Structure 1
Amino acid sequence: MADLAQLYGQHIKQLQQKAEQIIERAGLDGLAIHSGQPHRQFLDDMDYPFKCNPHFKAWAPLINHPHCWLLIEPNCKPKLYFYQPVDFWHKVESLPEAFWVEHFEISFVKNPTEISSYLPYDLENYAYIGEHIDVAGLLGFKHFNPEDVMNYFHYHRVTKSEYEIACLEKANEIAVKGHQAASAAFFLSASEYEINQQYLAAINHTENEVPYTSIIALNEHSAILHYMALERKVPAKLHSFLIDAGANFNGYAADITRTYAHDSGTFEDMIEVMHKQQLELMQGIKAGVSFVDLHLQMHQRIANMLLEFGLSTGQPEDLIELGVTKAFFPHGLGHMLGLQVHDAGGFLHDDKGTFVSSPDDHPFLRCSRTLQANQVITIEPGLYIIDSLLNGLSENAKKAVNWQQVDLLKPFGGIRIEDNIVVTATGHQNLTRKFGLNDG
């Protein structure tokens, strides 16, 4: 991986240039970006786990630091107001001795209420970027997350700097170690809870540090798309294992899914074919390709898989037209990835905020953009046995389903294979498989 310090220097210059551009366009004097502050649990004296404003961590990789502020002004070095209280109840975070610190003019704030003495006296023409509008209003801001500013940043955030791609690559490297540990635990007959513990230990993350709650699903639980229950008991018979789990590096997320069969047979063959279909589809990824077109192509491939493994009968086009493929593959092909797992900007087609939604008959697709170089996306085709969706098919569509084969595969739940991909001018770079997570 290239030297992060050098790449970060280029990254911060690009951010500053973009910020100055939108500040001028919006007629502002500057931007104040708030890391956020903890939320107190209802009727309690404890806070929920803190989650940093993604606009803040785009500049400074301080992902666990509430009450910090950035002040961005034209032709000025970014100012970081670092919260460092006097507190004997909690661990007080020190400013990291890191490569990025030199790029900021840094002041230390001991109390959140003191920030008013550091920010400009007149904030009427500054924009507040953050979630705590009440705090910003009391400080004197008049512009709160202006739509033109947010659209501009979200549109451009989709295109990653070299520093960001290096961070995403590192996040994948970390997550792959967890996936390898988790699959080993599965074949040693661990429970969902035990597998999750092995995953966290391998990536050296706590539950609050992973970018999203891990999906650790055995057997039929693999058909629940966002399954997060973590059974403590091992099923009497192990059939399958689906893991959708990521990792963080400097605030950037990996998002990887793999599926495993416990024993050889039809389901293992289906997993191998899904890997093959995903890899073949990804050969068509490059700048200028429509993400919607890729999604629709995957439905053609799912139709072929349904026929190959006897789950349906008929012609592929008929299975798509009747909605059979959507019953087996109900979610989108993937999404933008970066500072957030489902990164912003997937539906924006210019930096003015032109919104293009997904096709009406594919409402769960999270991206409608034409791909460009240095965008990072997930590609995650799936095939599941979900009773509610299959039972909801029209009578004509039900006639195309081989219900006997559905019943045979129901104990296995489903398959999902997900890689993290950097789009290039002529193709793509797979951030996931380069670290050895190459097959099921």
Structure 2
Amino acid sequence: MFSADLYSHRRQRLKADVGSGLILFLGNRPSPINAPDNCHFFRQDSSFLYFWGIDLPDLAAVIDVEADTETVFGEDLSMDEVIWSGPQPSLHERCRGVGVDRSAPSSQLSAIVAEAIKGGRPVHFLPPYRMDQTMQVAGLCSMDPAAVAGNTSTPLIRAVIRQRSVKSDAEVAQLEAALAINAVMQTTAMRMATPGRYEREVVGQIEGLAYGRSGRKPPFGTIFSIEGQTLHNRRHDNLMQAGRLAICDCGAESPMGYASDTTRTIPVGGRFSGRQKEIYEIVLGMQADALAAMKPGIPYKDVHQIAARRLSSDLKDLGLIRGDVDRVVQAGAYALFFPHGLGHMLGLDVHDMECLGEDHVGYTQEIRRDSRFGIDRLRLAKPLAPGFVVTVEPGIYFIPQLVQQWRNENRFSDLIDYGKLESYLDFGGVRIEDDVQITSTGATVLGPPIPKTVAAVESCCRG
């Protein structure tokens, strides 16, 4: 938990930005697996964590802007809950720790919201992403559940994004803590990626490291697969074979819930083939060009295009792409090999604030989403600013079904050599990802170094 003053400052700034009305925050509730008392690992709503800092289920909070009051709503443990779960600090004690003087039973929340609505005051709330949140908002605001999504508060969304986008030194320290765990996960995966071992054995080991070192589950389902051409392949049933590449895209959470997200591509058995080295070095060059270009003021969409240009130029040298490189990039032909965006914001969420609306988080009124294939998946396009933390994750993939579709459609046949591409259809994919902080002058890769060059990866695999 950060200092009470920090949480108070965040809420005061939010109050000033929103300007009037009630600001309603709903914390998360437990999520049963197969019975009410058998629940998934609890994860607090990230915006609730950011402004209120209390990592417990069944809480809500309200800022009354005009009255200048802040109240957390919830219940202290009953004796039965103490018997089963052990004693806990009271809600009032927890509130004092985050600079809140007022707490109240959950039963009082509905009357406060109803009074504001009766008085014609706005009730601001963020987009719910769980059905129980939607139903709770609907009940509090006397609203049809189907109308909830259309009544979220744009001023509140924009105010939250402005704050959460710029990471303080204390937040960066939490991200670094998550990355320290992530580095151990990645190097463990490199050593374990041996022929005859199932992917799930690696996943079980590295996810155990994440939980064992922070007490928190990974922020997303680990991607570890020799079928790397499937971008988010969360199946772990393959038996690893020598000569295959395994993509390891994994993360950890710090003790306070900040996420890391890195990717490495690992040669099963410890050595890249000559062809694998060629493609791997292109992806490494894409990332290097992107990192060199990153600085305040440059739109991340432009950085994506810089990586795409490096891909197009280098694949032209291999004979897979032909023609004018600038035309390849402008037309979007490169997206056959790189069908996703270069990266996304990172913070309390692995895709930070995605639940608030990707177009709010990653775009502006001037920079709108591009509809062309591949770049339409870019989660972050707007200008970079000091304090942003983003992922940089270029990749090259050979997706047989996509290649066949484009070839059947005669799509970009003047720019892509489909004949030469045939011999790559069993290749899989390569992705390399790091977490990067934007500084006043450029960009800095966060966390301890994770082996990334061909020689360093091979050495770690053999070690």
Residues 330-376 of structure 1 deviation map (CA, whole Å, 9 limit, x = unaligned): 1011111122222237644899x847422222211112211111111
Of the three residues 291, 297, 301, the one matched with 1:288 is: 297
The residue number in structure 2 matching 1:378 is: 391
Q: Is the contact between residue 369 and residue 376 of structure 2 (CA under 8 Å) also seen in structure 1?
A: yes
- Counterpart code for 1:152: A
The residue number in structure 2 matching 1:36 is: 28
Write the distance in 2 (CA, Å) between the matches of 1:244 and 1:100: 39
Q: Is the contact between residue 210 and residue 216 of structure 2 (CA under 8 Å) also seen in structure 1?
A: no
The residue number in structure 1 matching 2:183 is: 176
Query: Number of matched residues?
Result: 423
With normalisation by structure 2, the TM-score equals 0.79
Are 1:127 and 2:129 counterparts?
no
Are 1:19 and 2:32 counterparts?
no
Correspondences of 1:7-406 after superposition (within 5 Å):
8=3, 11-24=6-19, 27-28=20-21, 30-39=22-31, 50-63=42-55, 65-74=56-65, 78-86=70-78, 87-88=80-81, 91=85, 94-95=88-89, 101-105=97-101, 107=103, 114-116=107-109, 122-124=115-117, 125=121, 127=123, 129=125, 131=128, 132-139=133-140, 145-187=152-194, 189-204=196-211, 209-218=217-226, 221-231=227-237, 233-249=238-254, 250-262=256-268, 263-264=271-272, 265-321=274-330, 323-344=332-353, 347-348=359-360, 354=365, 356-361=367-372, 362-393=375-406, 394-395=409-410, 397-398=412-413, 400-403=415-418, 406=421
More displaced 10-residue stretch of structure 1: 189-198 or 154-163:
154-163
- Percent identity reads 21
Q: Is the contact between residue 84 and residue 93 of structure 1 (CA under 8 Å) also seen in structure 2?
A: no
Q: Is the contact between residue 313 and residue 402 of structure 1 (CA under 8 Å) also seen in structure 2?
A: yes
Q: Is the contact between residue 314 and residue 400 of structure 1 (CA under 8 Å) also seen in structure 2?
A: yes
Gaps of 5+ in 1: none
The residue number in structure 2 matching 1:415 is: 430
Give the superposition deviation at 1:120.
Answer: 7.6
Write the distance in 1 (CA, Å) between the matches of 2:16 and 2:110: 27
Q: Tell me, what secondary structure is at the counterpart of 1:55? A: helix
Shift in CA distance, 140/429, structure 1 to aligned 2, threshold 3 Å: same
Write the distance in 2 (CA, Å) between the matches of 1:370 and 1:133: 33
Write the distance in 2 (CA, Å) between the matches of 1:40 and 1:54: 20
Gaps of 5+ in 2: 458-463
Q: Is the contact between residue 126 and residue 141 of structure 1 (CA under 8 Å) also seen in structure 2?
A: no
Q: Is the contact between residue 377 and residue 421 of structure 1 (CA under 8 Å) also seen in structure 2?
A: yes
Write the distance in 2 (CA, Å) between the matches of 1:118 and 1:338: 34
Shift in CA distance, 355/273, structure 1 to aligned 2, threshold 3 Å: closer
- Counterpart code for 2:392: I
Residues 352-410 of structure 1 deviation map (CA, whole Å, 9 limit, x = unaligned): x8474222222111122111111111111110001222223252634544456534433
Give the superposition deviation at 1:115.
Answer: 4.8
Shift in CA distance, 108/13, structure 1 to aligned 2, threshold 3 Å: closer
Give the superposition deviation at 1:189.
Answer: 4.9
Write the distance in 2 (CA, Å) between the matches of 1:267 and 1:366: 28
Give the superposition deviation at 1:54.
Answer: 2.1
Residues 105-140 of structure 1 deviation map (CA, whole Å, 9 limit, x = unaligned): 36485xxx5354996883434635353243245446
- Counterpart code for 1:103: G
Write the distance in 2 (CA, Å) between the matches of 1:77 and 1:226: 44
- Counterpart code for 1:256: T
With normalisation by structure 1, the TM-score equals 0.83
- Counterpart code for 1:242: I
Give the superposition deviation at 1:291.
Answer: 0.8
Shift in CA distance, 115/341, structure 1 to aligned 2, threshold 3 Å: farther
Give the superposition deviation at 1:53.
Answer: 2.2
Flag the structure with higher helix content.
2
Shift in CA distance, 204/230, structure 1 to aligned 2, threshold 3 Å: same
Shift in CA distance, 272/187, structure 1 to aligned 2, threshold 3 Å: farther
- Counterpart code for 1:164: E
**Alignment RMSD (CA, Å):** 3.6
The residue number in structure 1 matching 2:460 is: none
Shift in CA distance, 311/260, structure 1 to aligned 2, threshold 3 Å: farther
Q: Tell me, what secondary structure is at the counterpart of 2:232? A: coil
- Counterpart code for 1:68: L
Write the distance in 2 (CA, Å) between the matches of 1:194 and 1:350: 36
Q: Is the contact between residue 18 and residue 159 of structure 2 (CA under 8 Å) also seen in structure 1?
A: no
More displaced 10-residue stretch of structure 1: 356-365 or 8-17:
8-17
Q: Tell me, what secondary structure is at the counterpart of 1:242? A: strand
Shift in CA distance, 298/73, structure 1 to aligned 2, threshold 3 Å: same
Shift in CA distance, 436/73, structure 1 to aligned 2, threshold 3 Å: same
More displaced 10-residue stretch of structure 1: 241-250 or 67-76:
67-76
